[in-house]
Amino acid sequence: MRWLLLLWLSVFAIPHAQAQEVLNWASDGEANVPYVFHDPVQQSRLEGFEYEIVQELGNRLHMTPHFIQNDWDGLVPGLQRGMYQMVIDGIEMTPEHREAVLFSRPYYVTGERIILRRDETGLDTVEALRGHTVGTIKDTLAERILSREPKIAIRSYEEETNAFSDLHNGRLDAILLDEPIAMYYGAITDELKLVGEPIGRTQYGIAFKPGNYALRDKVDRALTAMMADGTLQTILARWNLWTPEMAKMTGDFSKRDITPIEWNHYRQAMDRHGGWSIFWRYIGFLPLVLHGAWMTLAVSALAMVLAVGLGLLLALARHYGPKALGLLAGVYIEIVRGTPLLIQVLFIFYGLPALGIRLSPFVAGVLALGLNYAAYEAENYRAGLLSVPRGQMEAAIALNMTHAQALRLIIVPQAFRTVVPVMTNDFISLLKDSSLVSVITLTELSQTYVRLSSTYYDYIGTGLIIGAAYLLLGLPFVRLARYAERRLGRGMTRTGHH
């Protein structure tokens, strides 16, 4: 009996005792250097100074960190929805942000830096930027600083990579951004330069759902210990981000000989080379493109199945159903067609949980696209039903068919043949509109394009690859539709000879 007890402990009790709690955390890792981002050399690997901070927190809390990707605008709504336990993404601890989330103690303090093209001079202060067009990121300290100067034309961006692209192309005269972003985007190229002294002061904090004091307090204790034993300095120094301001904030004035290996690695990875190096870089993109294509196809195909089925029911209800049912179908169609698809996606994913309905990102994406396109398919089918002569129904009834049999065997097949080309066009449109599900954490083709193009500043080559993937996804369905048209056409012709 003793050996049975030992066996039971080894199989069940010990593994369960060793199992660690999962720490779900989120960030926008698509274009987020040096916070959390995909390694340019190995795109499947996440890195960044915030990523390393989370890994260290996991070790100290005896929890296993699990990363969840979300767009910047969806990070706080996702936190409030309960998709994850905390967010770390360079979130400034402003009064407005404090009203929406619960913050940890600050883990980084920084200022804003001005970035110019190499040939620009004399624009090294905010006052000197008057009369010029300056780019920044929306809802940041930099934007608030610029907004105090009415003579500065401000352009606010969702992604910093777009701002740097416009600076390169001469659409902006300067950029004002947090110093870590300025360093990793502006100091790694000979075409740009950082000028002037840091402007302003902002602190980053880890965000928690309001009321989650237990986890917040644990994280605070771990952060305090990391500052005390020099671990935080080590992490930041590896990324060339340890500053005198950080020494003051943490009280860590020790001098450690730490090589900025991550900073050097990133600079080497971003050195632009031509020829075969670019070719092999594009070859390395293929696994990500294939994954994005599979997600795009899966979401689009399932959504189209839902749209076809529901659209046919709506069309039949509106054309042949009772007056009240037809009215309801019409109201649904007009509401769905009259509101933006993006709003519907966000409502289903973030709004329905308030009603107790929680859907995974994949299910929410399929449902939103399917319900939206069902309204358009319903109108296509209604037009197809109207194209069938009224005498067809009367003849079927005269042959002792029921109303349902006449619809199933006579009317709907003829209407379906009419709308097949339109359905094909709708499916191709649905493939492209599936890009909107990226706002609810699904990484499909368009999100893959954002990640790759923003990482390498390569919008042309990467765009051609993603465009080709969309084209290859759509072509088989065009062929299938033409085949179906020919088959249905022969079927209708044979029926006409009898």
Predicted local distance difference test score (pLDDT) of residue 3 = 44
- Domain-located, residue 255: yes
Predicted local distance difference test score (pLDDT) of residue 13 = 44
Same domain, 61 and 172: no
Same domain, 479 and 377: yes
Same domain, 463 and 473: yes
CATH of the domain at 48: 3.40.190.10
- Domain-located, residue 487: yes
Same domain, 411 and 452: yes
Angle, in degrees to the nearest 10, between helices 213-228 and 231-238: 80
- Domain-located, residue 13: no
Cβ neighbours for 217, distance < 8 A, ≥ 6 positions apart: none
Domain count, the chain: 3
For residue 124, the 8-state DSSP code is -
| Regions of the chain short of the pLDDT cut 70 | 1-19, 272-277, 387, 394, 454, 481, 484-485, 487-498
Identify the domain boundary among 203, 219, 239: 203
- Domain-located, residue 112: yes
Predicted local distance difference test score (pLDDT) of residue 496 = 44
Same domain, 261 and 405: no
Same domain, 196 and 303: no
CATH of the domain at 350: 1.10.3720.10
Same domain, 231 and 339: no
Identify the domain boundary among 203, 232, 251: 203
CB < 8 Å & 24+ apart, contacts of 432-437: 432/470, 433/341, 433/369, 434/296, 434/299, 434/300, 434/303, 434/365, 434/369, 435/296, 436/341, 436/342, 436/345, 436/369, 437/299, 437/345, 437/361, 437/364, 437/365, 437/368, 437/369
3 state DSSP class of 74: helix
- Domain-located, residue 6: no
- Domain-located, residue 14: no
Question: What type of residue is 419?
Answer: V
Domain span at residue 231?
21-104+205-270
Nearest to 72 by CA among 492, 450, 496: 450
